[in-house]
Structures are given as structure tokens and as C-alpha cells.
Amino acid sequence: MTTAVSDAHNEHDDHGPTKGIGRWLFSTNHKDIGTMYLVFSLTMFFIGGAMAMVIRSELAIPGLQFVHPEFFNQMTTMHALIMVFGAVMPAFVGLANWMIPLMIGAPDMALPRMNNWSFWILPIAFGMLLSTLLMPGGSPAGGWTMYPPLVLQTGDSFPFLIFSVHLMGLSSIMGAINVIVTIINMRSPHMSLLRMPMFVWTWLITAYLLIAVMPVLAGAVTMLLTDQFFGTSFFLAAGGGDPVMFQHIFWFFGHPEVYIMILPAFGVVSEIIPVFSRKPLFGHDSMVYAASCIAFLSFIVWAHHMFTVGMPLTGQLFFMFATMLIAVPTGVKIFNWIATMWRGAMTFETPMLFSLAFVFLFTIGGFSGLMLAVAPADVQYHDTYFVVAHFHYVLVPGSVFAIMAGAYYWLPKWTGYMYNETLGKVHFWASTIFVNLTFFPMHFLGLAGMPRRIPDYSTQFSDFNTMASIGAIGFGMSQLLFVWVLLTSRKGKKATAEVWDNPPGLEWTVPSPAPYHTFETPPEISEEDGVH
């Protein structure tokens, strides 16, 4: 991270960041906070990944070799919580912090002190969650979905689980408010809403989703807390409560949550594909409408996670039709990306490779999603490895690949140096091969009848499990390459302000690395700028 200030815009401002730990603890600078979010996310990615390695080692062959079933369940639960709330979401918030002010020509986020707070809550929340590993009875083991009554059997770690989820929600809500206020109020003059870059657009929509659903999750887990400690019976049948109500409330949060994790990914990919196709993004406005449609539909499909709980037929039909509808706007997005590539002049640098793999592999996750929408078939797929394959396809080669693509794309802007392209490509190919080796066989396992969240399995499932375990360990190792790329990036050649071949967007008008303070006076936008 540089401390030099060399931007011509910034002649009034000759002071850089404060020195030492104070720079990070008390930072109100969107770039520093963005960096902290990204480093935090990468750390969590490796902690959650280590847990995945425990899971896949145990599942490599039938029989119980390494861990007890109790600990296995703790690993699946913690892996999910850490990856969802600790790795994927903070990574996108980090990208938002770094890039949204640069993309809309704002000097910083609108609420810088809240920005600091929303970040620093996260290490506390996850410190608390991870500390449960050392408690009597271990970590939460009832699944990240926290279904009662099972979750109420959690030991000493139960209140820590609830409070850490509260804190994660608090952090997300504050981050979302900040994003919305920044985008609505701090765009440069002449950047109308429909002229905003796609990444900004998808984040605006995501931020509204966050504000709408995180309080719902907080409410649901608070009810769990009072059921456990204060004698209420929201979800306890013995006291007249309804265990299924929790699932309705949870998935009313949970389904928009999956779009919270994928819409910013759509945004990143929509930035990258046009640049490396050397063509403007096809159908910018229809992309905005499609993302808004997806966000709206995400609120009315939650019970497709619950086709086996015994819903009335009409309820099942409604949720099935609504779920199928999501395929339409999602299809529009994919068609628009392909139309962007069509008759372009493509080159295949690492960010483009990750984005192309995203389009391919996210679509495969979309196909299994369409299959899961078919309710009678879902009864067979539900809670099997088919579902595990589905959501890992949309989350790993989906969200995570988009984050990787974004990291490679903007890294020269952040550090001022070009990363090692060969290493980047090796990282890409290793990740892509191993991610498919890990998750594709899981489709077969699920269809053949292997339930998810089991520590041991019948022998007929052994071959594909071994294959998936080999893939998982390969994928985990490949991510170490990414750390290597980051650590060696300073050895690369100096990056220019534009970095890539004539990219649109305001972030490329400031020098690389981006100075500590940018756009203290709003940039002038001509008719052509700002539209991707």
C-alpha cells in the first residue's frame, strides 16, 4: 500500500494516511477499509477452506477415519457460516468499498465512520464464532440453517452463535446503508442512475436486499434465543409453537441472501467481459431490469427450500412457478454477456478467464437450479449431494470466481503493479479443473441417493466421493497460488493508469496505485463516459 500522493486532483491534500496500527484501527478511508475487508475475507476463505478439507478428508473413503460425527457436523456448520458471512459477503463489500467511490467519482463512502465500524464488527463476530471451537460441547453443529428444535440442542456455544449472527447482520446492514447513501447522493454530476456502471447497479440492488432481509434473520435468531433462555415457544411444538415457521422466516432471509452473494458477482463480470471483448456491454439497461427482476422474485420463492415439509398443494405450485420464473431474467443476463463477446476482439488475461469460467459454470449451476425448481423431482433431490453440487456451482465457480476475476482486474489499480500473468493463468486453470473435479461428481452422488451432511456413507458412493475429495484438496492447494500472486505482485512491472486496453469507467482515470484521496472535486463526465 502506497502512501504517496501524486494525483493532480489532490493539490489541497498533501497528507497521506497516519502511520502504524492507528491507520487501520481508526481508518475512515474507503480504500483502507476496502483492503481490510478483502484481507479479512481471504483469511476467512482459508479458515473455512481448512474446514472443508476436514470434511472432504473424512469423506474420502467409507468408514470413519479422522473425526467423530459430532465434530464433522461442527465442521459442516462452521464451514458454511464462515464462507457465507465471512468470505463471500465481506469480499463483495471490500470490492464495493474500493471501487464504488472510484467508479462514480466520489471522494469516499458517504458515511466513513460507520464504514469503519461495520468492518471492525466483523473480526469480533468471527472471533466469537471461532472461539466456540474451544468450548465444552464444541461449535454449533445443527447446520448453518439453524433449524429448531435441533439447534436448541447446541451446548455452551449457542448464545455465541446467535450473537455472532446478530453482529454479522449489523455489519451488513451498516455496509448496505453506506452503499445506498453513497450511490444515491455522491455520484458525479451528469452520472444519471442508468449511466452507472453495472457493478454499481448490482451493488445498489444488493444493498436494498441486505436491508430488507438481514433484520429478518436477526429476528429469527432472536426468537431462537428467547425459546432457549426465556421460556418462549415460538418454534417449540410442546408449547404451541411451530418448528416450520422458523424455516419460513429463515428462508425469507435465505433466498434473497443467495442473490446478495451473486448479484455483485454479475456486476463484476459485467465490468470485465466488455473490456476484454473490446466492445461495450450489450443491453446495459436490460441488464439493470433483469437484476431488479431477480431481486424482486427472490422475495417470493423462499419455500422452494421446503418442498418436503408438507405444504399445501397450492403453496407448492405457487413457489414452483415463481422459482421457474427466475430462470428468465437470469437467462437474459447470460445471453447479454454472450452477445457482448459476440464479434468482439477477445483476449484472455486472468480476469477474463475467470469471468468466462463464471459464465460457463454458473450456467451449469443455473441448470441444476432449474431442475430443483421442478417440485416432484426436488423431493428426490432435496437434502442430497445434488443440492450440495448445485449451490457450490453457483457459489464457488460463481461468486468466488467473480471475486477472483475482480481481484485480478483491479489489483494493478490497488497496488500499482501488474501481477504475474503466468502465475495468474496457472491459478485459473488449476482452480477450474479442480473445482469441477470436486463438485461435478456430487451431482451423481445425490441422484444415486446420498444425503448431505453425513460423516460416513454406504460403499456404493465411495468412488465419486474419493474423486471429490481429491478435487477439493487440489482446489485448496490452488488457492495458495493466489496468495503467492499477491505476495509477488510487487515484483511486476509498474501499472499504467489505464492498466487494460482502453477500459471505460472513472476508476481508470486515476493513477495506479490509486492515490489515498481521489475525486475530491467531482470529475467532469462527457456524453460517452460512465456508460458501460
Partner 1 sequence: MIRNSFLSLLGLFVAGTAKADWELNMPKGVTDLSLETYNLHMMVFWWCVAIGVVVFGVMIVSLIKHRKSKGVEPAKFSHSTTAEVIWTAIPVIILVLLAIPTAETMVRLEDSRDPDMSIVVTAYQWKWHYKYQDSNVEFYSSLSRDSLEARRKQSGVDPFSVDNYLLNVDNPVVVPRGKKVRLLFTSNDVIHSWWVIDLAIKKDAIPGIVNEAWFRAEETGTYRGQCAELCGKDHGYMPIVVEVVEPEAYEAWVNSHDAEQ
Q: Which stretch binds partner 1 (CB under 8 A): 66-74, 188-196, 200-208, 216-224?
A: 66-74
Residues numbered 89 to 108 that lie near partner 1 (CB under 8 A) are none
Catalytic, out of 30, 31, 284, 305: 305
Least CB distance to partner 1 at residue 324 (A): 5
Burial of 39 per CB tally in 10 Å (0-12, 13-18, 19+): middle
Least CB distance to partner 1 at residue 350 (A): 16
User: Is residue 325 within the footprint of partner 1 (CB under 8 A)?
Assistant: yes
User: Is residue 376 within the footprint of partner 1 (CB under 8 A)?
Assistant: yes
Least CB distance to partner 1 at residue 375 (A): 6
Indicate which single residue of 46, 163, 299, 360 sits in contact with partner 1 (rule: CB under 8 A).
360
DSSP for residue 84: I
Q: Is 527 a catalytic residue?
A: no
Least CB distance to partner 1 at residue 343 (A): 4
Q: Is 131 a catalytic residue?
A: no
Q: Dihedrals φ, ψ of 215, to 5°?
A: -65, -30
Indicate which single residue of 328, 477, 480, 483 sits in contact with partner 1 (rule: CB under 8 A).
328
Q: Which amino acid is at 210?
A: L
User: Is residue 136 within the footprint of partner 1 (CB under 8 A)?
Assistant: no
Contacts of 259 (CB under 8 A, 6+ apart): 206, 209, 294, 295, 298
HSE of 111, CA atoms in CB hemisphere, 13 A: 16
Q: Which stretch binds partner 1 (CB under 8 A): 160-168, 405-413, 461-469, 511-519?
A: 461-469
User: Is residue 135 within the footprint of partner 1 (CB under 8 A)?
Assistant: no
Task: Pick the closest to residue 41 from 168, 139, 143 (CA basis).
Answer: 168
**In the block, residue with C-alpha cell 466513513:** 112
Indicate which single residue of 131, 226, 380, 496 sits in contact with partner 1 (rule: CB under 8 A).
380
Least CB distance to partner 1 at residue 279 (A): 5
Q: Which stretch binds partner 1 (CB under 8 A): 86-94, 207-215, 282-290, 506-514?
A: 282-290
**171-196 per-residue burial string, b: 16 or more CB within 10 A, e: under 16:** bbbbbbbbbbebbeebbbeebeeebb
Considering beta carbons, is residue 184 or 237 the nearer one to partner 1?
Answer: 237
Q: Is 425 a catalytic residue?
A: no
For residue 50, give the C-alpha cell. Answer: 481448512
Q: Is 443 a catalytic residue?
A: no
Task: Pick the closest to residue 129 from 90, 171, 158 (CA basis).
Answer: 158
Least CB distance to partner 1 at residue 101 (A): 26
Task: Pick the closest to residue 282 from 99, 104, 531, 100 (CA basis).
Answer: 531
User: Is residue 282 within the footprint of partner 1 (CB under 8 A)?
Assistant: yes
Q: Is 259 a catalytic residue?
A: yes
Q: Is 30 a catalytic residue?
A: no
Task: Pick the closest to residue 14 from 520, 532, 524, 489 (CA basis).
Answer: 520
Which residues are bridge partners to 232 per DSSP?
Answer: none
Indicate which single residue of 21, 136, 310, 487 sits in contact with partner 1 (rule: CB under 8 A).
310
Are 397 and 362 within 8 A, CB to CB? yes
Indicate which single residue of 156, 456, 498, 524 sits in contact with partner 1 (rule: CB under 8 A).
456
Residues numbered 14 to 53 that lie near partner 1 (CB under 8 A) are none
Alpha-carbon distance of 202 to 204, in angstroms, equals: 5
Q: Is 144 a catalytic residue?
A: yes
Q: Is 517 a catalytic residue?
A: no
Q: Which stretch binds partner 1 (CB under 8 A): 1-9, 56-64, 221-229, 408-416?
A: 56-64
User: Is residue 243 within the footprint of partner 1 (CB under 8 A)?
Assistant: yes
Are 479 and 457 within 8 A, CB to CB? no
Residue 379, helix vs strand vs coil = helix
Least CB distance to partner 1 at residue 165 (A): 18
User: Is residue 342 within the footprint of partner 1 (CB under 8 A)?
Assistant: yes
Question: How many residues bind partner 1, per CB under 8 A?
Answer: 96
Considering beta carbons, is residue 127 or 239 the nearer one to partner 1?
Answer: 239
Indicate which single residue of 249, 341, 402, 403 sits in contact with partner 1 (rule: CB under 8 A).
341
Least CB distance to partner 1 at residue 77 (A): 9
Indicate which single residue of 124, 219, 226, 463 sits in contact with partner 1 (rule: CB under 8 A).
463
User: Is residue 288 within the footprint of partner 1 (CB under 8 A)?
Assistant: no
**142-154 per-residue burial string, b: 16 or more CB within 10 A, e: under 16:** bbbebbbeebbeb
Q: Is 271 a catalytic residue?
A: no
For residue 434, give the C-alpha cell. Answer: 479442480
Alpha-carbon distance of 439 to 371, in angstroms, equals: 17
Indicate which single residue of 63, 155, 189, 219 sits in contact with partner 1 (rule: CB under 8 A).
63
Q: Is 257 a catalytic residue?
A: yes
Alpha-carbon distance of 454 to 59, in angstroms, equals: 9
Q: Is 56 a catalytic residue?
A: no
Q: Is 491 a catalytic residue?
A: no
Residues numbered 467 to 526 that lie near partner 1 (CB under 8 A) are none
User: Is residue 286 within the footprint of partner 1 (CB under 8 A)?
Assistant: yes
Which residues are bridge partners to 384 per DSSP?
Answer: 451
Least CB distance to partner 1 at residue 239 (A): 9
**Cα four-point dihedral sign 45, 171, 406, 251:** positive
CA 241 to chain centre: 34
Residues numbered 151 to 190 that lie near partner 1 (CB under 8 A) are 153
Catalytic, out of 27, 41, 164, 330: 330
For residue 70, give the C-alpha cell. Answer: 459430532
Alpha-carbon distance of 282 to 329, in angstroms, equals: 15
- Strands, E assignment, 447-527: none
CA 411 to chain centre: 18
Alpha-carbon distance of 94 to 43, in angstroms, equals: 13
User: Is residue 429 within the footprint of partner 1 (CB under 8 A)?
Assistant: no
Catalytic residues: 79, 108, 144, 171-172, 255, 257, 259, 270, 304-305, 330, 333, 452
